[in-house]
Structure 1
Amino acid sequence: MALDLPVAGTFSMRVSGGRPMRQRTANLEERILALFKQAFRQGRSDVAEHLLRALEALDQSPALSESPRGPHVLSEAYYELVRR
């Protein structure tokens, strides 16, 4: 039986048969972006700011280059700010 354990960052640890292996958490950047947009549209700028900082932190991570959209996620968040 496999067990998924969350680990800090964009990875989770998968433990199976006593052997851990790293597995990319699907679309973390996309999830944060969606929550950022929702918070911003609902007028929760305090929450949106934290989520934007999370996207900025992920942008500094080499793991973001593995994302299908890469740095475009952060650009989309900035665009959301200026279009309002």
Structure 2
Amino acid sequence: MLPRPEKSAVPLVETAIRQTKPGPKPTKLRDGAGLCLLVNPIGSKLWRWKHRYLGKEKLMPLGQCPNVTLAQARQSRDDAHQLPTV
């Protein structure tokens, strides 16, 4: 099966993450390979990794920004992707 094209071809940068302000609705900033930053209306920023396992879509939380940086979130995503399947 071919991977679906990403909605955002431009990866995130730290400056864009810091400058993002909460709005009236939750917003997703996509980085690529399923990694996104969810910005909630209350101001929290959460790293999430969307992937498929056994044909089902899963959502793995990777931490809260700024406690987890962009580089750490990417590394966590890559590490989780390399985990062996049962």
Please indicate, yes or no, whether the TM-score normalized by the shorter chain is above 0.5: no
Larger Rg, first or second structure (1 or 2): 1
- Taking structure 2 as the reference length, what is the TM-score of the superposition? 0.29
TM-score normalised by length of structure 1: 0.29
Q: Which protein has the bigger strand share?
A: 2
Higher helix residue share: 1
